[in-house]
Amino acid sequence: MPRTDEDRYHGFLTFQSRGVVAFPADLRSRLMADVPGVQLEVTELEDGVFVIRPVVPVPADQQWFWTERWQAMEREADADIAAGRTVRFDNVKDFLAALDT
């Protein structure tokens, strides 16, 4: 949903010593900058405007999950669940028996 003019942030950021920037609490919340590990991607446009986007880096040991192949398998599993193409077992013994058939 597009933001209206009333929803958009307009204000000032204060630079402190050593280049630290103080973001107001409401802006930090909207940028998800209160989440541990979040980074803000900063892009300078030709007209001198800076665009700031929140980015949550993916740990190296979890990058496999975000590969196109794995995401395709996730979408396939979601479609199977939505279509009711699942089987539920009451216990491990029944599950293993089904695998043997």
User: How far is 12 from 9, CA to CA, in rounded Å?
Assistant: 10
CA nearest to 85, candidates 94, 74, 98, 76: 76
* Residue 74 · residue 81 · CB < 8 Å: no
Domain boundaries, the chain: 14-55, 60-100
Q: For residue 8, report the phi and psi dihedrals to the nearest 5 degrees.
A: -75, 145
Over the stretch 7-52, which tens digit does the pLDDT of each residue have? Answer: 788 888 888 989 888 888 888 888 878 777 788 899 999 999 999 8
Q: Which is more confidently placed, 80 or 39?
A: 80
Q: Is 27:8 a contact under the CB 8 Å cutoff?
A: no
Task: Please give the CATH architecture assigned to the domain spanning 14-55.
Answer: Ribbon (2.10)
Query: What is the pTM for the complete model shown?
Result: 0.48
